[in-house]
Amino acid sequence: MPTPPLGLTMGDAAGIGPELVVKLFNEGLPAPAVVYGDAGALRRAISQLGLALTVASYPSVTQWQEALANPAVPSAIPVIECGDALPDELPMGQVNAQAGLASYHFLLRAIADAMAGRISAIVTAPLNKLSLRAGGVDFPGHTEILAHVAGVPWVAMMLLNEQLRVILTTIHVPLSAVPGLITFENELETIRLAARACHMLGQDTPRIAVAGLNPHAGEGGRFGHEDEAIIRPAVEAARTQGLDVTGPHPGDTVFMRARQGEFDIVVAQYHDQGLIPVKYLGVDHGVNVTVGLPFVRTSVDHGTAYDIAGKGIADPSSLRVACELALRMQIPAV
C-alpha cells in the first residue's frame, strides 16, 4: 500500500487559507499531501498569484493514489471532494456562512480519513469562528471539533516554536470561567497530556513546569486558593506517577525559564497566559498541536487574516512548519 499522505484542510475560503495552500504547493512540500477544500477557491488563488499550477479533484484519497500511479496523469494539487462547490463570487475577507460551513465539512472529511489511516496526519489552515457560527456550527474552533468527532474525552492545545512549548489547561472560555475549570482532574490530565506531547516528539522524560493561576502562584494563599488547594496536589499526584513535573510556578517567570532551557514544556492555566509568550516570539514559525487525539493534528498558529485575504501577501511559513512537525510526530503506543 502507498504511504498515506498528509491531509491539509484549506480552512475558511474567505480567508488566507487557499493562498497559503497554493503557495505551499508552489514552493514544494516535504511529503506528498492532499487538500480537503474547494477546488474553485484554490484555482482563484492560483490565478491571482499568477502561478503555473493546476488543481484536480478526486472522490477519495485512494482514487488519487491510483491516479498518481499512472505516469500519464499530469501533476496537480489534489483536492478531495467534500461537498458542494462554493460560489465563484464568494467575497474575500468577510464572515460568510457558506465558507464557515464548508470549512467544517473539509475538517470532518479529513478526520474520517485520519481515523481510517488513509492520511498520516491532519494539517489545518485557519478557519473563522464567526463564520462557523453563521453556518450553524456550534463549536468554538478546531480543537473542540476534533475532540468531539474523534470521540476522545481529553484533549489539550499545545503551541510551540523553536524556543518554547506551552500546553493549556483551559482553552476557549471566558476568563471569568477559568477558576471554576481549574480542577484536580483537569490539571492532572493536562500534565499527563504535556508528557504525551513530548513523547510524540521523541522525548521520553520531559521536564514539565506548571504555571500558577494567580499572581506569584497565589503566594501561599494570599492571592487565591487554587494554586495550593488544587494545582499543587495535582502536580504531586503526577510526580507519584513517575512524571518529572514541578509547580505551581509564578506565571510571570516560568515561560522565561523554559525558554532558557530549564523546562521542556509549560502547562499554562488559560488561553492568553500561555499563548502570549509563544506568539510574542513570532507566529511565522509557531505551530498549534492538538494533543490526545488518536492521530496527529498540527496547525498554523494564526487566524484567517481577513484584513489581507485576497491580496497575495500571506506568509505560508507557519503552515510549512506545521507540515514538517506533523511528519516528525508519532502517536505513543500507550
| pLDDT score at 141 | 84
- The pTM score is 0.91
Task: Quote the DSSP letter at residue 50.
Answer: T
Parallel/antiparallel/unpaired status of strands 296-300 and 287-291? antiparallel
Task: Evaluate whether 1-153+287-334 and 162-281 have a shared fold.
Answer: yes
CB neighbours (10 Å) of residue 141? 18
Residue 93 to residue 254: CA distance in whole angstroms = 37
Residue 292 to residue 273: CA distance in whole angstroms = 21
| Contact of 262 with 207, CB cutoff 8 Å | yes
Residue 38 to residue 19: CA distance in whole angstroms = 12
Residue 185 to residue 142: CA distance in whole angstroms = 23
Ordered alpha helix ranges (H), the chain: 17-27, 39-49, 61-68, 97-115, 129-134, 142-150, 178-181, 184-200, 226, 232-240, 254-259, 271-280, 317-328
| pLDDT score at 333 | 64
Q: How far is CA 100 from CA 21, 90, 141, in A?
A: 17, 12, 11
Residue 17 to residue 126: CA distance in whole angstroms = 6
Domain spans, the chain: 1-153+287-334, 162-281
Q: What is the dihedral of CA 307, 313, 314, 320, to 10 degrees?
A: 180
| Contact of 35 with 64, CB cutoff 8 Å | no
For 41, what's the count of Cα atoms within 13 Å in the CB-facing half-sphere? 33
pLDDT means per 10 residues, the chain with 334 residues, are: 87 96 94 95 95 94 88 85 90 94 96 96 95 92 92 93 94 93 97 96 95 90 92 98 97 96 97 93 83 95 90 93 93 70
Residue 14 to residue 98: CA distance in whole angstroms = 10
Residue 277 to residue 256: CA distance in whole angstroms = 9
- Phi and psi at 317, nearest 5°, equal -60, -45
CATH class in words for 1-153+287-334: alpha beta
CATH number of 162-281: 3.40.718.10
CB neighbours (10 Å) of residue 280? 10
